[in-house]
Amino acid sequence: MYAACASSWRWKGLRMSDEKVYDCIIVGAGPGGLQAAIYLARFSKDVLLIDRSGGRTRHAKHIENYLGHKVISGGELVETGIEQARSFNVKIQTGEVSKVLKRKFFEVSVGPSVYHSLFTIISTGVYDNFPPIENVHKYLGNGFYTCVYCDGYRTRGKKLLIIGNSTETANLALAMKSMYTKDIVLLLYFHTLPPDYEERLREENIQVVVEKPLRIIGGDTIEAVELKDGRKIPCEAIMSNLGFKLNDALLSELNLKKDHADFKYATGQHYESSLSGLYIVGPLNTGNDQAVIAAGEGAVAAIDINKRLLERLQ
């Protein structure tokens, strides 16, 4: 495939450098990156997948809404995807990408090494903002959740504490009451809700508490949250609504178009960014943040890249 690509560039009057140039470099081995790698490798393309290890998907203990799996952990899903990608000869390297640039080719930096490609897919995901309280990670995925789409169902019929600090958190409480449980307490750090929200929450029998949480109390399961003033709020599940940060430092030197909030990256119908040849799949783009959606985006991006690589040979 590399020889074929070299020929296509010669035909256009360009000389390849001595550096190896991959058809595509994929950054991030989440569902989006892995699905793209599998598709491109099955198209007989030369693919390098670079992953720092870890990631949000790996933290998920119970994925129940991914077609074909009644329940699977995020770690199992990723490891199965890596094994599948390797079976199609995807080269997988562990490392953290510090920078992506585009000159004649894409330049992807990992420590002192720089890798080159015709196309690049970014699938680096996000970091959840966790409340600074004790025992969060002990119960992460086992009673403590951050995504209503992923884990809201697991709060069904339970005593639920929703933690946040915005009017959006109040909207979440109202939505979760309509979908999952009638027993909800809304805990805000210091945010004061507008009067109409306070009235609506009272009508729905959702208690509002304004105070800082200190620690989660429990054994194998969550039993309560202790507050700074000494009060304890009994609960069996916690939904945190404190947002997330994008894992996008590697893109800082590229002038990419973002959404109206200047937060997430704008992409086209095939998930190509405003920079030609650079695709962004998963929660960094403006679509919904779900493993199964990211996988679909990876497939769409890979199909489009394959089409464009074939056009270079014509």
CA distances from 74 to 150, 152, 281 (A): 11, 16, 17
Q: What is the pLDDT of residue 18?
A: 66
Q: What is the pLDDT of residue 55?
A: 81
Question: Average pLDDT in the 172-195 region?
Answer: 95
Is the per-residue pLDDT at 2 higher than 80?
no
Domains, the chain, ranges and CATH? 2-127+244-312 (3.50.50.60), 130-241 (3.50.50.60)
R_g of the chain computed on alpha carbons? 23
Longest alpha-carbon distance in the chain: 74
Q: What is the pLDDT of residues 150-171, one digit of tens each?
A: 999 999 999 999 999 999 999 9
The pLDDT > 90 percentage for the chain reads: 86
At position 248, the amino acid (one-letter code) is: D
Is the per-residue pLDDT at 298 higher than 90?
yes
Is the per-residue pLDDT at 29 higher than 80?
yes
Q: Is the CB of residue 38 less than 8 Å from the CB of residue 45?
A: no
Is the per-residue pLDDT at 9 higher than 50?
no
Q: Is the CB of residue 59 less than 8 Å from the CB of residue 38?
A: no
Question: Average pLDDT in the 8-29 region?
Answer: 68
pTM: 0.90
Q: What is the pLDDT of residue 277?
A: 98
Q: What is the pLDDT of residue 17?
A: 52
Q: What is the pLDDT of residue 1?
A: 38
Confidence of residue 59 (pLDDT cuts 50, 70, 90): confident
Q: What angle do CA 290, 125, 121 make, to 5 degrees?
A: 100
Which residue reads 């699905």 in tokens?
A: 35
Question: Average pLDDT in the 174-201 region?
Answer: 95
Judged by average pLDDT, the poorest of 50-54, 117-121, 281-285, 295-299 is 50-54
Q: How many CB atoms lie within 10 A of CB 203?
A: 9
Q: What is the pLDDT of residues 102-134, one digit of tens each?
A: 999 999 999 999 999 999 999 999 999 999 999
Q: What is the pLDDT of residue 12?
A: 36
Is the per-residue pLDDT at 195 higher than 70?
yes
Q: What is the pLDDT of residues 133-150, one digit of tens each?
A: 999 999 999 999 999 999
Query: How far is the C-alpha of 256 from the C-alpha of 243, rounded, in Å?
Result: 22
Mean per-residue pLDDT of the chain? 92
Q: What is the pLDDT of residue 15?
A: 39
